[in-house]
Structure 1
Amino acid sequence: MKRSFTILTVLYAALLFTASCTKDNALVTTPVDEAVTPYDVPITYNFANADFFKASQRVKMGAELNSYLGTANNAVITSAKANDYFDNKNNLFTTDASLNTSGVTLAEKTADAAYFRGHFATQATNSLSNTVTAADGTAGIIVVGTTKRLVGPTGLESNQAAAKGMMGALFFKEAVTLLTNIPNDDNKTVTNGTTLAQRHWDEAFGNLGVPVNYDPAVTYVNTDPLRPLLWGGYLAERGKEILAGKTIFDAFLKGRAALGGHDKVVVAAQAKIIIDKWEQLNAAAALEYSTIPTRSVNVNNLATQFHALSEGFGFIHSLQFRATTSKLSAADYATLKSIFATNFYTLINEPGFTKLVQAQTILKTTYVL
């Protein structure tokens, strides 16, 4: 009898141990998915407790830094002051004085900040030659009619390289990173009215640079304090034909609403729409700026040709920060980089614009433009 009791006791203990392990493992490895709850998609980005203040402040900072770099056409600028804008030092912002005390900087979120500081230094050096006529190998000014452009020895406008490059290295890069990581974010724990996933979605939206009531059919005037800036402006300037404004804004609205309803499938779909269309917008801008110099009406107009190539240079740099799911291959991207790194005087004097046509073909084919 004693032997039977011992065997039964051991067997019972083993069963309890096994059941306990199975239960613990289930809690760890098989979390219960949240049920989708009904949700409505609004027509404006006025979600309760949505906060994209920091991203919006950086957009304004970027616009004002770009303006300062552009004054080098007519005035001598310094890299020290450009860096102060970049680092938010010495209270330089005037379009919105609250930027100075916002506690955010451009530099803290910009990939390879040293690259942009280099362009600041080059633009400052070039500004010392803003009374000299530019030539191949010589920095200076190109004047055609009422248009005046400050270029470096190869024809590159460093302010455009910095402005458009930063649109990718900061704002596009941040949005892609945030949206790509949304599936890994906590969308259950609510802090101050929102979950981590919702806060990251809001931050991604702020990098687009549009008002909460953005309307792609509206022509915003420069005096409107709530007008779209940076990428927001390019939704209309280079994105109309691909419906970039409506597509991206609507996806931001639907995805944010879906987060509230815990609809993971819709959230993932909208994130992909935003990332893909934003990249296509970038490519559409690069295509236009590689095409402008080759149009017969612009041939021999160096001010127009070099300005377009300089913007294209920046947008090609921006494509470096595309998602890993991008349609643009590493080999084709390397080719685009190489083309725009070519001396601009060489590019515009090539018979048939061989290199620029090659760039156009890559962009058209890859992005169906």
Structure 2
Amino acid sequence: MRITKLTLVAIAAKGIMFTSCSKDEVKNITDPIEFPKDLSDIDVSELTVPTDYVFNRNQTTTIDFSGQTTRLSQVNEIGGLLKSTNPIPTQEDFSNRFNQATGFTDASLNGSKNVRSKVAASVGLFQTNLTLSDEIKADFDGYLTNQIAVLESQNEASQGVAGTFVSGTRTRYFNEKGLEYDQAFFKGLIGALTIDQSLNHYFNRLDDNYDSSNAYRNDNDADVLVDGKNYTTMEHHWDEAYGYVYGLDGADKLLGHYLEEIQGQQYFANTPEIVFKAFVIGRAAIEAKQYDVRDAAVKLIRYQISKIPAARGIYYLQKAKGTIADSSADKRDAFHALSEAYGFIYSLQFTYNPATNEPYFTNAEVKALIAKLYGGNGFYDVTAQVLDEVSADIVANYDFTVADVIQ
């Protein structure tokens, strides 16, 4: 059963407190709750919470995240071209789809909504740093453009030479340093598109347009709907954050996919359920105008989602380590996992730490991690020791361990 269909078994129709300390209870001061980390940290005793993400006004849905579904579908087609050899895509093929939203095989994806404009575009991180935003967009332009030469190469991939590498029944396309651009593209967009838009953009535009005017909160309090729509701006912005996680149920290759996949790591088995329920709670709180509950849900979602690129990045680093450590093995067999790790590490700069209201890693810190992993001759130079060092560098900023990740 997919996480969008989970029943909120812990929440009765009239709303039940998940459990939280009352004002008279003495909390363990050695482990204070800085922010909600689990559903039990949110008091919903005065809130009616539905069992699914279903919200209506006058018997008509108030939910709309169609724009997010469109962009996630565009990402899938663009990413598919990165491994297309018949025919090999052109620069125009990529720029039309990524920049202009034209030329899609699915004609419904053509139009005003494009992926590139939403890459590294949150008000929270990039409103005052357009230079960095442009630099990050250029990274993704490069993944697309540089892949053309890899696909055109008639060489077998080797150190310093881009080309193909056949492993079992799979053909991999490595650049001269062993990186698969399609993995950098997809895993990097988990952060640069979906996490950034959800955690740093729309969650920062619930009360107002990030300008301290409280305009959207005032409209929500007065039940003022967007012209021609059945929702308030605050409701819609919450739905758009939700849409970047759940907007392409069953076919998503970005955050929604890895939110579900992380269930396979024992320590994170409950993460998908927690995130989904927190989204439902926050949306219900907006309807009820219980903004303290909404804000608690925001912090919980930010905390839980921000663990995903870290946990998955470490997972793939450790998965590659056995092959890298084996002197008799072909290192190239580890490059697919390392390419996935590369993309997840890149995504760390878009996370949100509720304790500091900053990303868990800055852009400069992410560049340093990637330089350690991918410097020199890239993956051809990497050692098992380096993989452990990068793993340790990542968990140092989180509250879990490498052992938790690989269980």
1:261-300 CA deviation, whole Å, 9 max, x = no partner? Answer: 1111110111111111111011111111211110259842
Comparing 151-160 and 324-333, the one that deviates more: 324-333
Question: How far did residue 88 of structure 1 move?
Answer: 4.3
Equivalent residue, structure 2, for 1:269: 296
Question: How far did residue 232 of structure 1 move?
Answer: 1.1
Q: How far apart, CA to CA, are the structure 2 residues paired with 1:228 and 1:107?
A: 18
Q: How far apart, CA to CA, are the structure 1 residues paired with 2:207 and 2:263?
A: 28
Residues 329, 81 of structure 1: alpha-carbon distance in 2 compared, 3 angstrom cutoff? closer
Q: How far apart, CA to CA, are the structure 2 residues paired with 1:64 and 1:84?
A: 12
Residues 90, 56 of structure 1: alpha-carbon distance in 2 compared, 3 angstrom cutoff? closer
The counterpart of 2:241, out of the listed 184, 192, 204, is 204
After superposition, residues 91-110 of structure 1 pair within 5 angstroms as: 91-94=103-106, 97-101=107-111, 103-110=112-119
Match of 1:71, SS? Answer: coil
The AA in structure 2 aligned to 1:339 is K
Equivalent residue, structure 2, for 1:318: 347
Question: How far did residue 146 of structure 1 move?
Answer: 1.6
**1:53 partnered with 2:61:** no
**1:159 partnered with 2:182:** yes
Residues 297, 57 of structure 1: alpha-carbon distance in 2 compared, 3 angstrom cutoff? same
1:298-323 CA deviation, whole Å, 9 max, x = no partner? Answer: 84244441111111111111111122
After superposition, residues 279-358 of structure 1 pair within 5 angstroms as: 279-296=306-323, 299=326, 300-323=329-352, 325-326=357-358, 328-330=360-362, 333-342=366-375, 343-348=377-382, 350=383, 353-358=384-389
Equivalent residue, structure 2, for 1:117: 141
Comparing 36-45 and 191-200, the one that deviates more: 36-45
The AA in structure 1 aligned to 2:339 is S
The AA in structure 2 aligned to 1:86 is F
Kept after mapping to 1: 8 A contact 2:178/2:380: no
- Percent identical across equivalent pairs? 28
Question: How far did residue 335 of structure 1 move?
Answer: 3.5
The AA in structure 2 aligned to 1:47 is F
Match of 1:182, SS? Answer: coil
Greater helix proportion: 1
Q: How far apart, CA to CA, are the structure 1 residues paired with 2:64 and 2:108?
A: 16
Equivalent residue, structure 2, for 1:182: 206
The AA in structure 2 aligned to 1:76 is I
Equivalent residue, structure 2, for 1:42: 50
Match of 2:166, SS? Answer: strand
Q: How far apart, CA to CA, are the structure 1 residues paired with 2:234 and 2:330?
A: 49
Q: How far apart, CA to CA, are the structure 2 residues paired with 1:328 and 1:90?
A: 36
Kept after mapping to 1: 8 A contact 2:369/2:390: yes
Question: How far did residue 89 of structure 1 move?
Answer: 4.2
Residues 358, 105 of structure 1: alpha-carbon distance in 2 compared, 3 angstrom cutoff? same
Q: How far apart, CA to CA, are the structure 2 residues paired with 1:42 and 1:303?
A: 49
Q: How far apart, CA to CA, are the structure 1 residues paired with 2:101 and 2:205?
A: 31
Question: How far did residue 363 of structure 1 move?
Answer: 2.5
Match of 2:80, SS? Answer: helix
Question: How far did residue 151 of structure 1 move?
Answer: 0.5
| Structure of higher CA gyration radius | 1
Match of 2:179, SS? Answer: coil
Q: How far apart, CA to CA, are the structure 2 residues paired with 1:180 and 1:171?
A: 14
Residues 293, 37 of structure 1: alpha-carbon distance in 2 compared, 3 angstrom cutoff? closer
Equivalent residue, structure 1, for 2:286: 259
Kept after mapping to 2: 8 A contact 1:141/1:151: yes
Kept after mapping to 2: 8 A contact 1:165/1:317: yes
Kept after mapping to 1: 8 A contact 2:179/2:335: yes
Residues 134, 258 of structure 1: alpha-carbon distance in 2 compared, 3 angstrom cutoff? same
Runs of 5+ unmatched residues, structure 2: 1-43, 57-61, 121-133, 209-215, 402-407
1:141-198 CA deviation, whole Å, 9 max, x = no partner? Answer: 1112222111111111112111211221111110012113424442323333322211
Residues 38, 345 of structure 1: alpha-carbon distance in 2 compared, 3 angstrom cutoff? closer
Equivalent residue, structure 1, for 2:395: 364
The AA in structure 2 aligned to 1:45 is Y
Runs of 5+ unmatched residues, structure 1: 1-35, 215-225
The AA in structure 2 aligned to 1:99 is L
Q: How far apart, CA to CA, are the structure 1 residues paired with 2:181 and 2:247?
A: 26
Residues 125, 329 of structure 1: alpha-carbon distance in 2 compared, 3 angstrom cutoff? closer
Residues 39, 236 of structure 1: alpha-carbon distance in 2 compared, 3 angstrom cutoff? same
Kept after mapping to 1: 8 A contact 2:338/2:379: no
